[in-house]
Structure 1
Amino acid sequence: MGFRNTRLRTKVTALLLSLAALWAFAAWVTLREGVNLLWVTQLNSSVVDPSVQVLEELQKERRFSVVKLSDPSPRARRELDSQRKQTDLMITAFQESAGATVVDWAMDDEGARRLAEVFRRLDSIQQTRQAVDAGRLNRVQAMDAFATVIDPFYNLYGAVATLDDKTIAKEIRALSALSRAREVLSREDALLTGALTEGRLSPAEHAEFTQTVGAWHIVADQAASELHESDRIAYDRLVKGSSFVQLAGLERQISEQSPAIGALPFGAEEWKTVSGRALNDFNTMVLAGGDRVVDRAVPVAVNVIIRLVLAGGLGLIAVIASIILSITTARAIFAQLQKLRDAAHELSDDRLPGVVERIGRGEEVDLAKEAPDLDFGDDEIGQVGQAFNTVQRTAIKVAAEQAELRRSIRDILLSLARRTQGLVHRQLTVLDVMERRETDPEELKELFRLDHLAIRMRRNAENLIVLSGSSPARTWRRSVPMVDVVRGALAEVEDYTRVTLLPMGEVVLVGRAVGDVVHLLAELIENAVSFSPPYTNVQVTGQLVANGYVVEIEDRGLGMKPEDLEAANERIANPPEFRITGTARLGLYVVSQLARRHDIQVVLKASPYGGTTVVVLLPQELVQLDPRPEPQGGGGERLPRRPTAVATVARPVAGEVARPVTAEAPRGAENVRALKPTRPAPVAEPAPAPVAKPGLVPAPEPVPEPPAEPEQQPVAEFTPSGLPLRVPQANLAPALRDDTPKQPDLEEDDDERSPEEIRAMMGSLQSGTRLGRTQAAKMLDEQQGGEAP
């Protein structure tokens, strides 16, 4: 399965490599026979031939050693010393020849081990010589000591005969066995020569002689059966020759003689003549057989060379031709496949997104022009190209249909959201009128609850507008204090009583961003309240920083995993395309769209209290210092003022210490407005505080109206896209301006009551409530007085 998924270029390369490997294997198999033949030839000249001479000299030294043990005369000693010198010369020559580096290359591990064993046994011959000189060995023991030195040579011959030709290898093993039979015959000669020198044959030596005679005959006969026909004829001729016939007669005489007799039926000179001639004839036959094997190996070597030329030369030519053909064919295939691949990438990366984008903008798309047919030829790849032409036409058609469908769905969502938004605005207007007329505290409380629910419904409708790619209709012409912006966001949160609002500073937000910032903060605060335990509070604070204004929202919930925080921040920074396949994380998508509209940075991080902290950074162009006169002694670094029409907002009474305020759910963005200064109205006498409408803060004590300042020319503001912000009646003459709208403004509530008017209304409500309670108490007293006896 893994090879199926590899690239075509890799498969072609693998095919060529396998072909080259097959040729290399065939060439190596043929070459190995030639190399093996070369190594065998090298071993024969460096190891086998010198070792044959060593064996002959060792066999002679063994014969003279046995004679020395039987005849301690000076003559026997001189002959032994002379033979030892000759043996040492042959051993030294053999060690130099077999120890060459080329022998190490030609011999395998088993042959090297056997050669090392031969060297070790040759080094031990000095101990055997010392034992012979000291007379510590008898004739049989001396023969056994020399056998331990000679036998490893025949083991070495078995490791050297490793030709791949089975016939030649079989003949070499047979000749090696004949050579071993000659070694047994040489041992027999040494044993009997020692006995003839002493003049008697002990029973133990008689038994050893009988076993030796039988051994060399058995080994020779078995080896002869494996010889080549010509070599077997030569062996039969040798066995039937006069030397071997005389040798067999002498062996038979001793074997048939009783061991107890001890005397020998013939003399030493007769045995020496017969055995010496038999050993020479045997050695000549073996060497001649070796020469004939070499002659028969010549055609094998020639055959190996011919196969090497065919497999190596012609095979190499075939491999090179295959590689050239494969490369040229592969290049043509790759060119067509790359053309097909580039067309597919162009379709997926350029044409399809472009078609979808243009359809999303409402443009007409010509499918035939957007999906031109590609010509790939008439072969198999060309047929694939024709199928691709059909696929791309279908893909562009389906993409166009899907884009049209998504645009239709967005239009439907936008239409429904606009209708819902209009109804909610009308509902809020009706609720506002009812709240003004109502004097019953309980009923007023319920109306405030309905008002709060309607504000939340309006935010949900605006979410649909944002998801459809449009902008909500709520806008402000004037800047709004930041504290009122945050209170407006709290008015759209269900569990607003759990939110603690810390001092925000005297900063105002430009009007074009008020609605979106209120919506953004409401989503984030709602999320913080929803994902934290009900017994915990959510803190909201704000302050000026070097790059603008920061609002921090901190909850005390369970927090988020690091990977979830990273994913949420990535989703906010780089929002994906909105899909209608699921509803998870819609709030984050809305936040990301609102933040991108005004270049607002929103980052989620872990809170040290275990929850999550949301940092909202408003850029400098969205915030300004409150243009009202600063209090005496005020200081601190502030943003530079910009001349603009900024409304006056309510201030805390003089001397009041700023402290965290638990939010009372302000009445949405309608209550985040600039309040017009008016003259102080008559104030009723104090009364118990009534039920507060969410979002309304008790008005401060009336202060003298500041002197009127000369009207300043407002500076033109701009939308996030760079277009100038339209201000109704901005270019009309003062006499023609109409500050009282005839119909309720859906974008900003037309009820701009001053704090004094609100206080007067609350005072009237409190006075009526107190009057009602007083009358009810009088009526109760009259009823109780009438019932008394």
Structure 2
Amino acid sequence: MGSRSSNLRRKVVALLASLVALWAFAAWVTLREGVSLLWVQVLDAQVAQPGEPLVLELQAERRASAAYLGGSGAAEREQLDAQWRRTEGVADDFRKSVSSWRVDLAADESQRQIDTVVSGLDRLAAVRESIRDRQVDRAAATREYTELIDSVLRMYGSLGNLDDEQFTRETAALIQLVRIRELMSQEDALVTGALAAGRMTPEETAAFARATGAQRYLDSQVRTDLSSGDRARYEALVGGEAYTAFRSLEDRVVQGRAGGAPPVSAAEWRVAADVVVGEQQRFIIEAGDALVERAAPIAVGVVLRLVLAAGLGLLAVVASIVVSITTARALVQQLERLREAAIRLANERLPSVVERLGHGEEVDIAKEAPPLEFGDDEIGQVGKAFNAVQETAIRTAVEQADLRRNVREVFLSLARRTQALVHRQLTLLDAMERREHDAEELEDLFRVDHLATRMRRNAENLIVLSGSTPGRAWRRNVPMVDVVRGAVAEVEDYTRVNVLPLGAVSLTGRAVGDVIHLLAELIENGLSFSPPHTSVEVRGQQVANGFAIEIEDRGLGMSEEDLAAANHRIVDQSELNLANASRLGLYVVSRLTERHGVRVQLKESAYGGTTAVVLIPAELVTAADEDPSTSGGFPAGLPAGVPVAGASGQAPPAAEPPLATAPVALAEPLAPR
């Protein structure tokens, strides 16, 4: 396909690539939400949900460890061993769950927090051993568990979330509720250890006060981020009797004497703490379930956007590609038709019309410029403009051909009139020459006769260039030497021409006038482009393909490029180009060679000048008997009284004695038409 259609297709491909890139961006943005939703589900199922029982068991183990370190009975040890087994079982489940490859793909930024939790679980064995051997106090043991539980809560905060602001706030509030429960669990562990030991150390009292203050602060902050329904239920929960009793016990512990016995009993604390922590856990579960229900429409929206952007968007892109390719293909086909029509017009139809017009044929414009149908779109409008262009081009060619034909007819008419006048002038001069006996006057008449002969050749040049035939013709064959003499008589500086013996050969009468004219043009060309003191030599001989005449000058010669151009001009039968009038003789030679199959070639001469080789076909040449008057050469200048073929019957004045004793008989020329 051509470069233009390729360029058009590249533009269409670039446009489609931009459309695909835009779709890919929109699809990626939506797909990222879908991927985020998928990763959130993965992290919730394999990290958050297994982490919740782990937190509960770690909190229970922390309380059991504090009771064991505070007391001295075997019952606390049995409870602690049982709790260790439960915690280890949940920890193993958590490790197995978070080691999945799906978690590795989804965790990204959360992976570091998950690894921290797993590392903390791995260190838990050493902590348990120190607790079993009572090598740590209650505060240190509680701190170890609290740090591990905090790492789990930080892991919760690092997990992915949905791209919804309200949902994100509610999720953060849910995590804060879990922290409030963790702070209550810390308080429970501290008080349980103190009750088992019978005293509460100042460090435990301070830790209890910090946990209570943080828990109540988070309680006041979390309400603003809860949904309206969850907020109402939470306020009812906090305002209930159990919470009121628990906070009363918290106040008593905080206000109690540091280092003394706890100001609450084990029974009332256990009841209040279990009820409040249980209700807090139930509320967290219910809030989480409600949050999951509210997340369903968000997830559906993400999936819907994914389907619309990725699915329908892809369909729209595919449809656009199909429509664009189809449209581009139709457009390219129309443009190709238009281009091919333009190429045919430029390379075939218009040159054919011009050629036919040159041959004088009539041309039907409507038939040569049929309108092309391209539709009514923009390409169709271009096609209509092309139809107008091709019709105008062919009409202009016809009009120009008519104009050139008319100009040729004018020139031909003028040339015919001039030829007739010159012929009458030559006839009159011939009569005057026959009556004149004064040598000087006769010489002047010969000069006027010679000028008239040259004028006749110029008139015949116009006739030849106009595409017609000069009127001169011979009925009988003419000796070749007389043909050459006739050509020499039609040039200005004929005294510089040397003609070598040509042999007893005659030329067919129908070709005599054109060959004389052709040789005269070539001899004139050799005389014009050679120094005045040099001569032009004409020689000829019969060859296998006819009769060859060589016209050699002693001028400056021509370059290879000029020789090639001149030879091309001779064999080129195209119409006359008026832009280079200096090569007019070559146009005349070209037209004359075309009529009789004569071949002319210019080549470099051995003397530095130019040699013109004229090959006359064998069918125009006939052999004759040897006769000094018809086969001999003559030097520069013709003998007086020797008639020359093509002249008025008289020769130019002689500069040298004649070589022949008798004149050469010539066929009489016919009157010009």
TM-score, structure 1 as length reference? 0.52
Displacement of 1:248 in angstroms is 1.0
| Aligned equivalent of 1:756 | none
| Aligned equivalent of 1:66 | 66
Q: What amino acid sits opposite 1:195 in the alignment?
A: A
Q: What amino acid sits opposite 1:384 in the alignment?
A: V
Displacement of 1:241 in angstroms is 2.3
Distance change (3 Å), C-alpha of 1:228 and 1:432: same
Q: 2:631 aligns with which of 723, 738, 744?
A: 738
| 1:437-483 Cα deviation digits (max 9, x unpaired) | xxxxxxxxxxxxxxxxx9797289xxxxxxxxxxxx99974599xxx
Within a 5 Å distance, the mapping from 1:209-288 to structure 2 comes to 209-259=208-258, 261-288=259-286
Q: Does 1:46 align with 2:46?
A: yes
Within a 5 Å distance, the mapping from 1:4-23 to structure 2 comes to 7-8=7-8
| Contact 1:459-1:519 within 8 A present in 2 as well | yes
CA distance in 2, matches of 1:187, 1:581: 115
| 1:391-430 Cα deviation digits (max 9, x unpaired) | 223444667789999999xxx9xx89x99x9999855954
CA distance in 2, matches of 1:578, 1:299: 87
Displacement of 1:152 in angstroms is 2.8
| Contact 1:476-1:511 within 8 A present in 2 as well | no
| Contact 1:424-1:458 within 8 A present in 2 as well | no
CA distance in 1, matches of 2:401, 2:341: 22
| Contact 1:718-1:724 within 8 A present in 2 as well | no
| Contact 2:63-2:189 within 8 A present in 1 as well | yes
CA distance in 1, matches of 2:561, 2:339: 49
Higher mean C-alpha displacement, 361-370 vs 172-181:
361-370
| 1:116-151 Cα deviation digits (max 9, x unpaired) | 333333323234334444555433333332233222
CA distance in 2, matches of 1:403, 1:479: 42
| Aligned equivalent of 1:55 | 55
CA distance in 2, matches of 1:200, 1:117: 35
TM-score, structure 2 as length reference? 0.60
CA distance in 1, matches of 2:360, 2:118: 99
Distance change (3 Å), C-alpha of 1:192 and 1:324: same
3-state secondary structure, aligned to 1:279: helix
Q: List alignment gaps of at least 5 residues for structure 1.
A: 434-453, 461-472, 481-509, 528-574, 584-589, 591-621, 624-664, 674-716, 746-789
Distance change (3 Å), C-alpha of 1:580 and 1:426: closer
Distance change (3 Å), C-alpha of 1:430 and 1:78: same
3-state secondary structure, aligned to 1:740: coil
Aligned CA RMSD, in angstroms, stands at: 5.7
| Aligned equivalent of 1:458 | 529
| Aligned equivalent of 1:386 | 384
CA distance in 2, matches of 1:95, 1:202: 36
3-state secondary structure, aligned to 2:162: coil
| Aligned equivalent of 1:87 | 87
Distance change (3 Å), C-alpha of 1:511 and 1:185: farther
Q: Does 1:151 align with 2:150?
A: yes
| Aligned equivalent of 2:559 | 523
CA distance in 1, matches of 2:169, 2:299: 16
| Aligned equivalent of 1:685 | none
CA distance in 2, matches of 1:230, 1:516: 122
Q: What amino acid sits opposite 2:389 in the alignment?
A: V
CA distance in 1, matches of 2:219, 2:60: 21
Q: What amino acid sits opposite 1:84 in the alignment?
A: W
| Contact 1:161-1:173 within 8 A present in 2 as well | no
| Aligned equivalent of 1:535 | none
| Aligned equivalent of 2:118 | 119
Displacement of 1:431 in angstroms is 9.8
| Aligned equivalent of 1:696 | none
Identity %: 39
Distance change (3 Å), C-alpha of 1:426 and 1:254: same
Displacement of 1:277 in angstroms is 2.2
Displacement of 1:293 in angstroms is 1.6
| Contact 1:455-1:667 within 8 A present in 2 as well | no
CA distance in 2, matches of 1:163, 1:299: 11
Displacement of 1:192 in angstroms is 2.8
| Contact 2:183-2:215 within 8 A present in 1 as well | yes
Displacement of 1:281 in angstroms is 1.4
Within a 5 Å distance, the mapping from 1:205-604 to structure 2 comes to 205-259=204-258, 261-301=259-299, 333=331, 336-355=334-353, 367-396=365-394, 430=496, 458=529, 477=540, 523=559
| Aligned equivalent of 1:76 | 76
| 1:655-707 Cα deviation digits (max 9, x unpaired) | xxxxxxxxxx974458x89xxxxxxxxxxxxxxxxxxxxxxxxxxxxxxxxxx
Q: What amino acid sits opposite 1:740 in the alignment?
A: G
Distance change (3 Å), C-alpha of 1:423 and 1:87: farther
CA distance in 1, matches of 2:274, 2:488: 135
3-state secondary structure, aligned to 1:734: coil
CA distance in 2, matches of 1:581, 1:64: 121
Distance change (3 Å), C-alpha of 1:161 and 1:218: farther
Displacement of 1:518 in angstroms is 11
CA distance in 2, matches of 1:336, 1:40: 55
Distance change (3 Å), C-alpha of 1:267 and 1:345: same
| Contact 2:54-2:90 within 8 A present in 1 as well | yes
CA distance in 2, matches of 1:256, 1:27: 61
| Contact 2:180-2:219 within 8 A present in 1 as well | yes
Q: Does 1:96 align with 2:133?
A: no
Q: Does 1:724 align with 2:645?
A: no
| 1:466-508 Cα deviation digits (max 9, x unpaired) | xxxxxxx99974599xxxxxxxxxxxxxxxxxxxxxxxxxxxx
Displacement of 1:578 in angstroms is 14
Distance change (3 Å), C-alpha of 1:733 and 1:365: farther
3-state secondary structure, aligned to 2:623: coil
Q: What amino acid sits opposite 2:236 in the alignment?
A: R
| Aligned equivalent of 1:779 | none
Q: What amino acid sits opposite 2:192 in the alignment?
A: T
| Contact 1:171-1:226 within 8 A present in 2 as well | yes
Displacement of 1:74 in angstroms is 3.9
| Aligned equivalent of 1:496 | none
| Contact 2:547-2:618 within 8 A present in 1 as well | no
CA distance in 2, matches of 1:38, 1:579: 85
Displacement of 1:252 in angstroms is 0.9
Displacement of 1:91 in angstroms is 1.1
Distance change (3 Å), C-alpha of 1:276 and 1:521: farther
| Contact 1:178-1:224 within 8 A present in 2 as well | no
Displacement of 1:361 in angstroms is 7.5
CA distance in 1, matches of 2:216, 2:233: 16
Q: What amino acid sits opposite 1:342 in the alignment?
A: E
Displacement of 1:46 in angstroms is 2.4
| Aligned equivalent of 1:162 | 161
| Contact 1:359-1:365 within 8 A present in 2 as well | yes
Distance change (3 Å), C-alpha of 1:475 and 1:191: farther
| Contact 1:201-1:264 within 8 A present in 2 as well | yes
CA distance in 2, matches of 1:12, 1:378: 22
| 1:713-754 Cα deviation digits (max 9, x unpaired) | xxxx996xxx836886x5222237422258879xxxxxxxxx
Query: More helix by proportion, 1 or 2?
Result: 2
- Higher relative contact order (Cα pairs below 8 Å, separated by 6+ residues): 2
Q: List alignment gaps of at least 5 residues for structure 2.
A: 408-457, 466-486, 500-524, 564-571, 581-585, 587-601, 639-673
Distance change (3 Å), C-alpha of 1:33 and 1:741: same
Q: What amino acid sits opposite 1:221 in the alignment?
A: S
Aligned residues between the structures: 510
| 1:262-318 Cα deviation digits (max 9, x unpaired) | 332123443333222221111111011111222333444555566667777777777
Distance change (3 Å), C-alpha of 1:240 and 1:325: same
CA distance in 1, matches of 2:90, 2:248: 34
